[in-house]
């Protein structure tokens, strides 16, 4: 299954999380397999903006999880295991990789840099 829109007959095991669909991709927008999502962050001032850490990198939705775009410029090609959103600077996020590295973006994921 992938994050997107849930068919009415599909039960959700993740109440309160983004909806799920079986579509692999729509119109060039990425879909995210639920089994690959490691962390989800919702922007408190713009709740339609959602970030997801996955086994394939970081994705962002601007439309409440209907469509997703990869935001991985500067990130390594490895699993991202967790995300954190700065409590004041809402375009600043931190991403931790499966191999223990920490990355930061100050522009909502447009570019990432590794922290020492």
Which CATH number do you get for residue 66? 2.110.10.10
C-alpha distance across the termini of the chain, in Å: 36
Please give the residue range of the domain that contains residue 67: 35-114
Distance CA 4, CA 76 (A): 25
Where do the H-state alpha helices sit in the chain? none
Q: What is the pTM of this model?
A: 0.74
pLDDT band for position 7 (50/70/90)?
very low
pLDDT band for position 16 (50/70/90)?
very low
Domain for residue 2, yes or no?
no
pLDDT band for position 38 (50/70/90)?
very high
114 C-beta neighbours (distance < 10 Å), count: 13
What does residue 86 show for φ and ψ, rounded to 5 degrees? -60, 140
Domain for residue 46, yes or no?
yes
> Of 57, 64, 55, 56, whose CA–CA distance to 93 is shortest?
57
Q: How many domains does the chain have?
A: 1
Domain for residue 11, yes or no?
no
Domain for residue 94, yes or no?
yes
């Amino acid at each position: 299954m992938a994050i997107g829109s849930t068919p009415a007959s599909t039960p959700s095991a993740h109440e309160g999380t983004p909806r799920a669909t079986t579509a692999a991709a729509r119109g060039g927008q990425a879909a995210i397999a639920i089994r690959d999502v490691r962390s989800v962050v919702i922007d408190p001032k713009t709740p339609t903006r959602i970030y997801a850490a996955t086994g394939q990198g970081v994705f962002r939705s601007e439309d409440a999880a209907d469509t997703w775009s990869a935001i991985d410029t500067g990130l390594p090609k490895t699993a991202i295991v967790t995300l954190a959103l700065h409590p004041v600077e809402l375009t600043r996020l931190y991403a931790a990789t499966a191999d223990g590295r920490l990355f930061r973006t100050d522009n909502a994921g447009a570019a990432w840099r590794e922290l020492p």
